[in-house]
């Protein structure tokens, strides 16, 4: 416990936390899956069928992320502030492949679906920082093979990253927050059930609207992340300081 609050805190984030930074969500009306079939660009089969299409899809999203106008928003900043106030008590598990949590200052972070600013070599397995366009003429800096680099993204049907570390965190968390996710995709959508089963003292959903798992949360706050997340963090910090 830190002060009055049940720690450690595990925070699951989804695309909604980055929406106000200019990055599209997936299942809103204007979302990514309204424009492109996930089977074509977010599955190993799609990549095998047409690697150039998949590389172009992620190159476009990587350029959008690295555009100077794409910056962390007050929600990312509030979560980074929470970690600064309670070092070692806050872990973000993000489904997002952007680096806005890092740019806001969060350090205790797991990217369970991979990272847009990384590439992975199918030949030697190396995971490399990659901020340029990626294509079949690129060589792996680790093993020098050409044409074996793919986006370091977990596609549908693949195993999310660092699941053991996530399970450990859920087994001891006191407060579980879910921010900006629709609750459509497992295993992330099941984390709230697991946190409750493992004895979390409190579970809270912060979202624009009720997610599919809304009824599983003891508390919910609805509104744009850039408003509800700073307000909630302020409340948490105030509760401890007795403010």
Asked if residue 224 binds ligand APR (CB under 6 A), the reply is yes
Instruction: Please answer whether residues 112 and 166 qualify as being in contact, where contact means their C-beta atoms are separated by less than 8 angstroms.
Output: yes
The CB-of-168 to ligand APR minimum distance in angstroms stands at 21
How many CA atoms lie less than 13 Å away from 1 in the CB half-sphere?
8
Closest CA to 12 of 177, 165, 208: 177
Please select the residue that binds Zn ion; options are 123, 198, 227, 234, rule is CB under 5 A: 123
Smallest separation (angstroms) from Zn ion to the CB of 138: 11
| Burial grade of 213 (CB within 10 A; 0-12, 13-18, 19 or more) | buried
Question: Using CA atoms, how far apart are residues 53 and 137, in angstroms rounded to an integer?
Answer: 14
Tell me whether the omega of the peptide bond preceding residue 51 falls within 30 degrees of 0, making it cis. Answer: no
Report if residue 119 touches Zn ion, rule: CB under 5 A. Answer: no
Name the residue nearer to ligand APR (CB basis): 108 or 181. Answer: 181
For residue 231, give the H/E element and its range: helix 225-241
Is 113 noted as a catalytic residue in this protein?
yes
Q: Is residue 228 within 8 Å of residue 205, measured between CB atoms?
A: no
Of 76, 101, 111, 113, the active-site residue reads 113
Choose one: 18-26, 131-139, 163-171, 196-204; the region binding ligand APR (CB under 6 A): 18-26
Residues 69-98 that bind ligand APR (CB under 6 A): 95
Alpha helices in 33-162 (DSSP H): 38-41, 44-49, 51-66, 74-85, 100-104
**70 assigned binding-site residue:** no
Q: Does 124 bind Zn ion (CB under 5 A)?
A: yes
Is 105 or 224 the residue whose CB approaches ligand APR more closely?
Answer: 224
Write the binding mask 179 to 218 for ligand APR: x where contact by CB under 6 A, - elsewhere: -xxx-xx---------------------xxx-x-------
The DSSP line for 71-95 is: ---HHHHHHHHHHHHSTTSEEEEE-
Q: Is 153 helix (H, G, I), strand (E, B) or coil?
A: strand
Contact call for residue 146 and Zn ion (CB under 5 A): no
CB of 16 to Zn ion, least distance (A): 35
125 versus 187: smaller Cβ distance to ligand APR:
187
Do residues 204 and 221 lie in contact, with contact meaning Cβ atoms separated by under 8 Å?
Answer: yes
Q: In terms of CB distance, is 8 or 114 closer to ligand APR?
A: 114
Can you say which residues are annotated as belonging to the binding site for Zn(2+)? 121, 124, 140, 143
Residues that bind ligand APR in the complex, under the rule CB under 6 A: 14-16, 19-20, 25-28, 31, 95, 113, 180-182, 184-185, 207-209, 211, 224-225
User: Which residues belong to the active site?
Assistant: 113
């Amino acid at each position: 416990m830190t002060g009055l609050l049940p720690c450690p805190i595990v925070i699951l984030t989804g695309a909604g936390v980055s929406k106000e930074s200019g990055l599209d969500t997936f299942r809103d009306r204007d979302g990514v899956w309204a424009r492109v079939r996930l089977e074509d660009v977010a599955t190993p089969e799609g990549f095998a069928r047409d690697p150039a299409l998949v590389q172009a899809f992620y190159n476009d999203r990587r350029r959008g992320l690295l555009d100077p106008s794409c910056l962390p928003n007050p929600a990312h900043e509030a979560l980074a502030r929470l970690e600064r106030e309670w070092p070692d008590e806050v872990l973000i598990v993000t489904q997002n492949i952007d680096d806005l949590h890092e740019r806001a200052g969060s350090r205790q972070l797991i990217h369970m679906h991979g990272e847009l600013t990384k590439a992975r070599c199918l030949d030697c397995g190396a995971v490399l920082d990659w901020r340029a366009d990626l294509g079949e003429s690129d060589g792996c800096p680790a093993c020098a093979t050409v044409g074996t680099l793919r986006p370091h993204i977990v596609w549908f049907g693949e195993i999310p990253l660092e699941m053991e570390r996530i399970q450990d965190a859920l087994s001891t968390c006191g407060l579980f927050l879910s921010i900006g996710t629709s609750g459509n995709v497992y295993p992330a959508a099941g984390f709230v059930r697991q946190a409750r089963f493992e004895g979390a003292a409190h579970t809270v959903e912060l979202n624009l609207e009720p997610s599919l798992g809304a009824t599983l949360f003891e508390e919910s706050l609805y509104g744009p992340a850039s408003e509800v997340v700073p307000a909630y963090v302020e409340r948490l910090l105030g509760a401890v300081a007795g403010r």
